[in-house]
Amino acid sequence: MAATRARVSSFSRNVSTVTSQNHGLKHGPNGTMFISSGIPDLDSGGFSLGSLVMVMEDPEAPHHMLLLRNFMSQGLVQKQPLLYASASRDPKSFLGTLPSPASPKGDNKSSDLSHEKDLRIAWQYKKYFGEPQLNLNTNNGGQHDYCNDFDLRKPLDRHFFSGNNVDCVSIKDSPNLTALQDCCAGFLAKFSRNEGSISSAGRIAIQSFCSPQCKYSNEEWHMLSFIRSLKGMARSSNAVIVVTFPPSLLPPSCSKRLQHMADTLLSVKAIPDEDKELAKLLTGYQDMIGLLNVHKVARLNTQVPVILEATTFSIKLQKRRFLVLECLNQAPVDGSSGSSYGTSGGCSGSTKAGPLDF
Residue 232 has pLDDT above 70, yes or no: yes
Please report the DSSP string for 27-59 in residue order: E-GGG-EEE--S-GGG-SS-EETT-EEEEE-BT
pLDDT band for position 112 (50/70/90)? low
Instruction: Check residue 196 and give its pLDDT.
Output: 60
Q: What is the mean pLDDT of residues 326-346?
A: 51
Residue 331 has pLDDT above 60, yes or no: no
Q: What is the mean pLDDT of residues 253-257?
A: 95
pLDDT band for position 170 (50/70/90)? very high
Residue 228 has pLDDT above 60, yes or no: yes
Phi, then psi, of 114 in degrees rounded to 5? -65, -40
Which 3 state secondary structure label does DSSP give 238?
Answer: coil
Residue 168 has pLDDT above 50, yes or no: yes
Q: What is the mean pLDDT of residues 97-101?
A: 94
- What's the CA gap between 13 and 302, in Å, rounded? 10
Question: In terms of pLDDT, which residue wins out, 31 or 95?
Answer: 95
Instruction: Check residue 17 and give its pLDDT.
Output: 36
Which 3 state secondary structure label does DSSP give 95?
Answer: helix
Residue 334 has pLDDT above 60, yes or no: no
pLDDT band for position 45 (50/70/90)? confident
Instruction: Check residue 140 and give its pLDDT.
Output: 39
pLDDT digits (tens, 9 = 90+) for 178-203: 999 999 999 999 998 875 678 789 99
Tell me the whole-structure pTM to 2 decimals.
0.77
Instruction: Check residue 135 and give its pLDDT.
Output: 38
CB distance 170 to 207 below 8 Å: no
CB distance 180 to 174 below 8 Å: yes
- What's the CA gap between 325 and 335, in Å, rounded? 23
User: What are the structural domains, with CATH classification, of the chain?
Assistant: 25-327 (3.40.50.300)
pLDDT band for position 151 (50/70/90)? very high
Residue 262 has pLDDT above 70, yes or no: yes
Instruction: Check residue 250 and give its pLDDT.
Output: 92
For residue 50, is it left (φ>0), alpha (ψ between -120 and 50) or beta? left
CB distance 57 to 247 below 8 Å: yes
- What's the CA gap between 214 and 87, in Å, rounded? 6
pLDDT digits (tens, 9 = 90+) for 287-313: 888 999 999 999 888 888 777 778 899
Highest mean pLDDT, choosing among 44-53, 136-145, 189-198: 44-53
CB distance 265 to 227 below 8 Å: no
- What's the CA gap between 107 and 326, in Å, rounded? 18
Instruction: Check residue 345 and give its pLDDT.
Output: 37
Instruction: Check residue 224 and give its pLDDT.
Output: 95
Q: Which of 249, 30, 70, 250 is nearest to 150 (CA)?
A: 70
Percent of the chain scoring above 70 in pLDDT: 73
Instruction: Check residue 347 and give its pLDDT.
Output: 38
Q: What is the mean pLDDT of residues 146-155?
A: 91
